[in-house]
Every structure is written in C-alpha cells, then in structure tokens.
Amino acid sequence: MNSQEIQSLIAGFVGALIGSSKESHKNLFSHFISVVAGTAAAHYLTPIIADSLHMANPKMMLGMSFLIGTLGLRAVEMATSKLNLKKKEESEDVDNS
C-alpha cells in the first residue's frame, strides 16, 4: 500500500466518522458498521469514480475519498446506478449500430 492509498483510506475514514451521526444509529455496533462501510466504500470506489471522471489530481482524489466516506453506502448506490446507466447506454449503442 503506497502513501496515496493510505492518505485516501484516512480521508475516507474521517469522512465516514463525520457522516455517521450517533442519532441515526441505535447502538455502538451499528455506528461501527457505518464507519467501516463508509471507509471501505471510499477506499474501493475512489479509484473507480476518479477513473470514470478522468481525474488524476491526487488532492482532488483525497477530497473525493472524504466525500465518499461521508456518504457511505449512499455512494455505493449512486456509483452502481451510474455504472448501470453507462452499461445500458453502451448496449443501446451496440443495438442501434
């Protein structure tokens, strides 16, 4: 794991901590799972989203990691929706050809 990946992981973790408010979770375990999910989403989705947006600036990617961590599972849903739309458009282009 290189320093950029570690920084991205930390940014996602901090975002997940901020995005996971105690009022929305019934117990400590639920809060913990929310933070872990947000951190994992940030770590794994940042490269995918950055690549699809043609983003190469490391500082912008750290900001994106933070935002994805804050959004948590909502970011996973948005990324999945975007990828499904892209696949659908590509298949329609092939069908129309």
Show me where the domains of the chain are located: 3-96
What's the whole-model pTM score?
0.71
Cα 18 from chain centroid (whole Å): 14
Which carries the bigger pLDDT value, residue 73 or residue 5? 5
34 pLDDT higher than 70:
yes
Amino acid at 47: P
**Distance separating alpha carbons of residues 12 and 18, to the nearest angstrom:** 10
Comparing 1-5, 11-15, 52-56, 76-80, the range with the smallest average pLDDT is 76-80
Cβ atoms of 96 and 77 within 8 Å: the answer is: no
- Select the more confidently predicted residue: 22 or 61: 61
Residue 97 has pLDDT above 70, yes or no: no
User: Residue 88 — very low, low, confident or very high, per pLDDT cuts 50/70/90?
Assistant: confident
What lies within 8 Å, CB to CB, of 19 at 6+ separation is: 34, 38, 69, 70, 71, 72
